[in-house]
């Protein structure tokens, strides 16, 4: 399998969330990937549990304010960088990076105090990418022109 070289920050797209070329921090120390989510709620529609939320923060240039919904989701126990365990919702969606589309799991969390609204962890990176921590936005070279 060919691995692509990416930097410590990359622009990714998450089509199902309506996000195009949003900065994400590449974090080889984190296992799971995470997306900032606001106004999370689980509602029942037509007898099914649905997860609704707003991706990103108000004020972010890609913020639309629109709610996105996921029928398939679960809760996962995650340890944060301070070692504190918490339950987070986990969704599976596609993301686009370096000219290709991948399916991956993301937890939803409050990243409002973080510099980047999206974090890419080891689970997504493994066997797909090599990370050059001295560079940013290397994936642009792989994008279709």
Half-sphere exposure of 2 (CA within 13 A, CB side): 4
Beta strand ranges found along the chain (DSSP E) = 4-7, 9-14, 19-26, 33-45, 48-55, 68-70, 73-79, 85-97, 100-109, 118-120, 129-132
In a domain, 137, yes or no: no
Are residues 5 and 136 in contact, defined by beta-carbon separation less than 8 angstroms? no
* Total count of domains within the chain: 1
Residue 99 token pair: 């000219």
Domain membership of residue 97 as a residue range: 4-132
Judge residue 86's burial from the number of C-beta atoms within 10 Å of its C-beta, 0-12 exposed, 13-18 middle, 19 or more buried.
exposed
pLDDT in tens, the chain (145 residues): 689 999 999 999 999 999 999 999 999 999 999 999 999 999 999 999 999 999 987 777 777 888 999 999 999 998 877 888 999 999 999 999 999 999 999 999 999 888 899 999 999 999 999 999 999 999 999 876 5
Contact 115, 21 (CB under 8 A): no
Residue 65 lies in a domain: yes
140 within a domain of the structure (yes/no): no
What CATH number does residue 38 fall under?
2.40.70.10
Task: In whole angstroms, give the CA distance from residue 27 to residue 93.
Answer: 19
Q: Is residue 56 part of a domain?
A: yes
What tokens appear for 86 in the block?
Answer: 């918490």
| 139 within domain boundaries | no
Residue with tokens 């590449």: 26
Asked whether residue 138 is assigned to any structural domain, the reply reads no
**Structural domain contains residue 144:** no
pTM of the model: 0.90
Asked whether residue 125 is domain-assigned, the answer is yes
């Amino acid at each position: 399998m060919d691995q692509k070289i990416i930097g410590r920050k990359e622009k990714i797209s998450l089509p199902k969330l309506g996000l195009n070329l949003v900065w994400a921090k590449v974090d080889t120390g984190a296992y799971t990937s995470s997306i900032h989510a606001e106004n999370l709620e689980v509602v029942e529609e037509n007898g099914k549990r649905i997860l609704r939320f707003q991706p990103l923060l108000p004020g972010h240039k890609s913020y639309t304010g629109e709610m996105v919904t996921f029928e398939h989701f679960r809760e996962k126990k995650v340890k944060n960088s301070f070692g504190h365990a918490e339950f987070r919702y986990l969704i599976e969606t596609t993301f686009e990076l370096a000219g290709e589309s991948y399916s991956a799991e993301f937890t939803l969390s409050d990243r409002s105090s973080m510099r980047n609204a999206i974090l890419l962890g080891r689970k997504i990176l493994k066997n797909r990418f090599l990370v050059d921590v001295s560079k940013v936005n290397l994936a642009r070279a792989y994008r279709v022109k």
